[in-house]
Amino acid sequence: MSDAPSVPGFVAGGVATGSKKKGAKDLALIFCPAGAAAAGVLTTNKIPAPPVQIARAVFQRGSASAIVANSGCANAYTGRAGTADARVVMRRTAKLLGLHEREVIPASTGVIGQRLPVTAINRALPQLATGLSPRGWLAAADAIRTTDTRPKVSWQQCPAGGGRVQLVGIAKGAGMIEPHMATLLVFLATNARIRAPLLRRLLKNACDQSFNRLTIDGCMSTNDMATVLASGEGCPRALLPGERDTQRFAKLLIEVCRDLANQLAADGEGATKRVRIRVEGASSDRQAGTAAYALGNSLLVKTALHGEDPNWGRIVQALGASGVRLNAAKLGITIGKSPILSRGVYGGAAVEARARRTMQGASYEICVKLGVGRGRDEILTCDLSAEYVRINASYRS
């Protein structure tokens, strides 16, 4: 769709506070002047950052009018000072927009353990607030990047609720990504009219089918959140549980989240490949998920993906080590369309050569059959490159 999406009821934008090198944007603001239903899914990391703890309270109330997010400093493990810092930014934002502090959702991403650059942020906020625009989503997406090489925006619409429901999403990812909301910031905005509890249920479901099926490096961040605000503007009829329109909206939400998850996987730190790992024939869906993550997180599998090497022995090794139930004599491994292992039998050099050609592409699928049941699951992962090591060995310097 168009490069400059918009959603009735929302304005957005992003600016540079001057804290980042080369004047890169690092402060984003999303604003719904009339107020919105709000729902969020937060990291399960046991040491959540102050902004995550504050956001939790906002989501419990179920309404908000603005999101203020900075990148570069995670404001994580900063204790009471970090909470105070976040509140200073929330208050300043609220004042500029004519809101109460509790209507502002704070979010941060970047280095853990450093104090928030409150002065620089507060200095940049007025200009940011003045420059907000209905088409400011790309600027906002740009401003929440850390090691992401490009901004992630997705936009979809469908008829529902007596109007046209629009949904825009922006996200940042790159590293420290594992299931359960890990180093993701995802901000979604829609003009659907919907109450917070239902919105939360649909968001949770969409996350489970997108971001929670993604692993870049098996690391779960202190700061992850996925948020959706719903303005209701231009949609006279509220979406209610079980309605066909609600199902349509739920599907829209999943589509946008999956599109963003795809963009995140393709832009994993140092990643050159986006690989979907599908596991079938497990004794349960949960076992299939365990096997899929065992593959997606295995360093030996990820380096083989990087080397474009159909080294199925490493897949076998990782499956065996994962502890899931499997029938070694029935094991199947298909790379792209090449069955390199079928019912435990190696497909031969020609099949392996075809698999290698598949692996030279930027995006493909590996399907594994465990041969013990009907459980299935799939995840997205990427390769592990020397570039990942370079990025993360020098991230703070």
For residue 67, which phi and psi values (nearest 5 degrees)? -125, 125
**Of 304, 351, 355, 367, which one interacts with a copy of itself (CB under 8 A)?**
304
- Point out which span in 159-167, 232-240, 246-254, 383-391 binds a copy of itself (CB under 8 A): 383-391
Which of 183, 246, 290, 358 is catalytic? The answer is 183
- The reply on whether position 303 binds a copy of itself by CB under 8 A is yes
Cα 107 versus chain centre, distance:
14
Q: Residues 72, 27: contact at Cβ < 8 Å?
A: no
Which position among 150, 164, 201, 390 is part of the footprint of a copy of itself (CB under 8 A)?
390
Exactly one of 63, 221, 227, 381 binds a copy of itself (CB under 8 A); that residue is: 221
Structure tokens at 94: 């609220």
Indicate whether 220 belongs to the interface with a copy of itself (CB under 8 A): yes
Q: Which CB, 5 or 347, lies closer to a copy of itself?
A: 347
**With the CA atoms of 291, 296, 297 and 298 taken in that order, what torsion angle do they form, in degrees rounded to the nearest 10?**
80
Q: Which is nearer to a copy of itself, 24 or 316 (CB)?
A: 316
CB of 3 to a copy of itself, least distance (A): 33
Single out the segment in contact with a copy of itself by CB under 8 A; choices: 30-38, 162-170, 196-204, 305-313: 305-313
Q: Closest separation between CB of residue 325 and a copy of itself, Å?
A: 8
Does 241 engage in binding with a copy of itself (CB under 8 A)?
A: no
Nearer to a copy of itself, 236 or 393 (CB): 393
**Can you tell me which of 150, 164, 201, 396 binds a copy of itself, judged by CB under 8 A?**
396
From candidates 85, 148, 217, 280, binder to a copy of itself by CB under 8 A: 217
- The answer to whether the beta carbons of residues 183 and 277 sit under 8 Å apart is no
Counts of helices then strands in the chain (DSSP H, E): 11, 15
Find the binding residues for a copy of itself in span 173-202 (CB under 8 A).
175-176, 178, 182
Q: Does 19 bind a copy of itself (CB under 8 A)?
A: no
Q: Is 81 in the site for a copy of itself (CB under 8 A)?
A: no
Segment 53-60 long-range contacts (CB within 8 Å, at least 24 positions apart): 53/83, 54/83, 54/86, 54/87, 54/90, 54/105, 54/106, 55/105, 55/106, 55/107, 55/225, 55/227, 57/102, 58/102, 58/103, 58/104, 58/105, 59/196, 59/200, 59/227
Q: Which stretch binds a copy of itself (CB under 8 A): 5-13, 204-212, 256-264, 306-314?
A: 306-314
Quote the CA–CA distance of 124 and 126 in Å, as a whole number: 6
Q: Is 32 exposed, middle or buried (0-12, 13-18, 19+ CB in 10 A)?
A: buried
Strands (E), the chain: 11-15, 27-42, 63-73, 104-111, 152-160, 163-172, 185-190, 214-215, 225-230, 274-282, 332-335, 338-342, 345-346, 363-369, 375-382
CB of 264 to a copy of itself, least distance (A): 16
- Tell me if residue 130 is catalytic: no
Q: What is the set of active-site residues?
A: 183
> Which residues contribute to the site for a copy of itself (CB under 8 A)?
45-48, 74, 76-77, 79, 111-114, 175-176, 178, 182, 217-222, 297-300, 303-304, 306-307, 309, 311-314, 316-324, 326, 328-329, 344, 346, 384-386, 388-390, 392-397
